Amino acid sequence: METRAEIQSFTGKYPRQLWHLAGSEMWERFCFYGMRGMLTVFMVTQLKLGDKEANLQYGAIQAFVYAFTFIGGVFADKILGFRKSLFWGAILMIAGGLVIAMSPAKLFYIGTCFFIIGTGFFKPNISTMVGQLYADGDPRRDAGFSLFYSAINLGALFGGILMIWVGKYHSWPLAFGLVSIVMTISLINFIFTQRHLGPIGISPLHPDIPNKKRRMYEVAVYIGSLIAVPFILKMVTNTDYTDLFMYIIGPTTLVYLAWEMRKFNTAENKRLLAAMVFILFSIVFWAFFEQAGGSLSIFALNNLKHTLLGFIPMDPNIVNNSSNSVFVIIFAPLVGLLWLWLAKRKMEPNSVVKFGIGFLLLAGAFFAFYATVFFADADGITSLDIFTLGYFIITFGELSLSPIGLSLMTKLSPQPIQGLMMGMWFLASAYGQYVAGLLGAGMSTADPNASNYDKLISYTNGYQQLAIYALIAGVVLIAISPLVRKLMKGVH
């Protein structure tokens, strides 16, 4: 078995284990983005929810998906290790897909609960293992995460296209059943490639702990996960409980982090404070970006032409679900190589400035979504081309922030709490998803009989406001970059 040092001493731009982990994550992203793209469309067309209710339900479900990444990260750090956590998460996601496929209308929320918990155990831990393929200070880490981000977006592309297409035009049970099929592929890939990871991801429990006690801890985690299902079901189906959960989980995690910080020295704690700056700003970013699965999904359903470039027949929901992934696949490796090229010439912007650039591009994207109002006809149907342009711009904002954020959590976090900090990064996404639902509900018209044109005006006015707020956030981040860099203590 290779040692960690041998793995980290790889030659070239990327370690070979990166491809193995990306293979498993690619199929998980197929399921996640396929589900994300279907949620509001399914709730509006099959569960007959209004636009406002669908936005709130979307925000609640997505918030719990990401909130449980924090919990999954903690259990991986303390008991399971990253590998067993990933395995258990995949099993739960497979079960969730099968449950919904049996009766989508009746079992949608129950199956979604399994999916929420499963993603919580799967998602943060595979990203943490990617970070551990690199030694501290390795300048190739950001490029590695950019490639990882590009590879897994292949899954997001196929899931975003296939699952919504199968659901809308063929069979909702089959669309949800694809979750189980694809997650089985992901799990098999990981089982057959994990031997190349050496000691990365094994159980963190002390080797002297007896095997019987070790198994008892692990089984307790598995049983506790299943016991949580009815509680999550209650909270997901009643957004008042979602509000209460989000009010509690954030402060609780901050208290827990403060408790863990007492174990580290001053320099390490300053880096953790810098990580919190990135985490807090990422909440705002995802609150805007994740309109993709909420308000933008409903906007695509009701207000966009079914032709791209004037002559290509195209379902707008497929564009909404897949265009971002197409652009990420094409441009993420190029952006990663750009960072390397700039780094060699000592011209690479620091991570805080990259975040600020991400917000400026986010603002540009929402100005494009707002601009669709100028191309609308009297029925409120507008240009799919301008809408797609918005996604082209937002992709570069995402590439300036998301893979960099994943990399930063592994750079700024002491190794004993890397799973915790990766979980907090995704917990920030949970708050972003939660706020995204509230924003989407606020932009939707209260009148269920509103015309398509009224809906278009309501949504595009909202997108204009989001563009202005994103612009302000970007300027603020760039302005405070010198202060945050001091906290980072040499981490670029």
Tokens of 174: 């089959």
| Count of H-run helices and E-run strands, the chain | 17, 2
Q: By CB neighbour count within 10 A (0-12 exposed, 13-18 middle, 19+ buried), where does 427 fall?
A: buried
Structural domains of the chain ordered from first start: 4-488 (1.20.1250.20)
CB-based contacts of 116: which residues, under 8 Å, 6+ apart? Answer: 61, 64, 65, 68, 96, 232, 236
Rounded to whole angstroms, the Cα distance separating 144 from 477 reads: 25
Helix, strand or coil, per DSSP, at residue 401:
coil
Profile the chain (492 residues) by mean pLDDT over runs of 10 residues. 78 82 85 82 85 80 80 80 87 92 90 89 78 80 74 81 85 90 90 83 77 85 90 82 80 84 82 85 89 85 86 85 85 78 79 87 95 89 92 89 73 75 78 84 73 86 93 92 78 62
Helix, strand or coil, per DSSP, at residue 47:
coil
Rounded to whole angstroms, the Cα distance separating 232 from 407 reads: 30
Report how far apart, in Å, the C-alpha atoms of 218 and of each of 80, 85, 163, 215, 317 are.
6, 10, 34, 5, 41
CB-based contacts of 300: which residues, under 8 Å, 6+ apart? Answer: 316, 317, 319, 320, 387
Rounded to whole angstroms, the Cα distance separating 303 from 379 reads: 8
Rounded to whole angstroms, the Cα distance separating 231 from 8 reads: 42
CA-nearest of 327, 330, 329, 407 to 361 is: 327
Rounded to whole angstroms, the Cα distance separating 2 from 4 reads: 7
- The DSSP call for residue 203 is -
Q: What is the pLDDT of residue 491?
A: 65
Rounded to whole angstroms, the Cα distance separating 384 from 306 reads: 7
One-letter amino acid of 80: L
Q: 89 near 179, Cβ under 8 Å?
A: no
Q: 61 near 112, Cβ under 8 Å?
A: yes
Please say whether the dihedral angle defined by the alpha carbons of residues 337, 20, 68 and 255, taken in this order, is positive or negative.
negative
Longest CA span, the chain: 73
Helix, strand or coil, per DSSP, at residue 112:
helix
Q: What is the pLDDT of residue 82?
A: 82
Helix (H) or strand (E) holding 99: helix 81-102
Q: What is the pLDDT of residue 359?
A: 94
Rounded to whole angstroms, the Cα distance separating 454 from 461 reads: 11
**Helix/strand/coil percent split, the chain, to 5:** 80, 0, 15
Q: What is the pLDDT of residue 476?
A: 92
Q: 317 near 168, Cβ under 8 Å?
A: yes
Rounded to whole angstroms, the Cα distance separating 419 from 89 reads: 15
Bridge-partner residues for 313, per DSSP? 307
Q: What is the pLDDT of residue 9?
A: 80
Report angle CA 380, 381, 383 to the nearest 5 degrees: 130
Q: 413 near 384, Cβ under 8 Å?
A: no
Q: What is the pLDDT of residue 260?
A: 81
CA-nearest of 246, 274, 260 to 428 is: 246
Q: 304 near 323, Cβ under 8 Å?
A: no
Q: What is the pLDDT of residue 372?
A: 92
